[in-house]
């Protein structure tokens, strides 16, 4: 893999990372409803999943999973169920008009941080599009020369790094505007929008599973 090829991948991966998806919706939801620390830990969960799936793809395990139709479908339907669950939670919060939690990092217990990490991880790991991205896109940037496995790992980890930089920047931005949108009507509207988006992602994933 040459440096120009790597540079092209970085540009392409950055565009993919910035495009809103389920991970984006969950990070936004947790950052606003639970504060900056929850947003950061949700982002870490997403990136850990990306690193895991990228590693599996680079070593060929991901291809085995993708070719196993029952296993791939099971992952897809798990993603449908989990995104639907998160979406319903957000819609219920919008209906109740539940207040957002404190943004004070010291007020966030360890269990809440782990819960945010778990949410980010599960949201990403149950999305088969992430594994499909690594399996379909990475080979396009790998040349015949060099070490394919190492090059694939470099590309996959670059994608993960770009992802965490983008999500951390998003969380930091949301932390600064969070105080401006504390009004109950605005909170309910944002919860409703996030819940609708998550259910929409779940529905799209379900349609593709047929």
Average pLDDT over residues 152-172: 93
Average pLDDT over residues 65-78: 71
**pTM for the predicted model, two decimal places:** 0.79
Would the pLDDT of 64 be above 60?
A: yes
* Predicted pLDDT at 93: 76
d(CA 45, CA 6): 26
Name the band, by pLDDT with cuts 50, 70 and 90, for residue 173.
very high
What total number of domains does the chain contain?
Answer: 1
Q: Which of 62, 55, 56, 51 shows the shortest CA–CA distance to 160? A: 51
Q: Which domain holds residue 129?
A: 3-208
C-alpha distances in Å from residue 150, one per residue of 68, 79, 126: 25, 29, 25
Would the pLDDT of 105 be above 60?
A: no
Average pLDDT over residues 17-40: 89
Would the pLDDT of 167 be above 80?
A: yes
> Which one has a higher pLDDT value, 143 or 122?
122
Decide: residue 205, CB within 10 A, 0-12 exposed, 13-18 middle, 19+ buried: buried
Name the band, by pLDDT with cuts 50, 70 and 90, for residue 106.
very low
């Amino acid at each position: 893999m040459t440096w120009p090829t790597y540079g092209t991948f970085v540009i392409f991966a950055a565009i993919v990372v910035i495009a809103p998806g389920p991970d984006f919706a969950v990070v936004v939801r947790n950052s606003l409803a639970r504060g900056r620390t929850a947003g950061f830990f949700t982002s870490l969960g997403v990136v850990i999943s990306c690193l895991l799936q990228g590693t599996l793809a680079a070593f060929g395990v991901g291809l085995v999973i993708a070719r196993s139709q029952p296993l791939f479908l099971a992952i897809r339907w798990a993603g449908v169920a989990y995104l639907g669950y998160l979406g319903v939670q957000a819609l219920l919060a919008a209906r109740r008009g539940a207040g957002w939690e404190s943004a004070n990092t010291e007020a966030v217990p360890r269990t809440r941080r782990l819960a945010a990490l778990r949410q980010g991880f599960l949201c990403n790991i149950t999305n088969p599009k992430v594994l499909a991205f690594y399996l379909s896109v990475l080979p396009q940037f790998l040349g015949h020369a060099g070490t394919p496995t190492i090059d694939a790992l470099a590309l996959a980890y670059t994608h993960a790094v770009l992802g965490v930089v983008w999500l951390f920047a998003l969380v930091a931005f949301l932390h600064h505007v969070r105080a401006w949108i504390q009004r109950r009507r605005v909170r309910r509207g944002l919860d409703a929008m996030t819940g609708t988006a998550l259910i929409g992602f779940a529905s799209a994933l379900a349609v593709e599973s047929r």
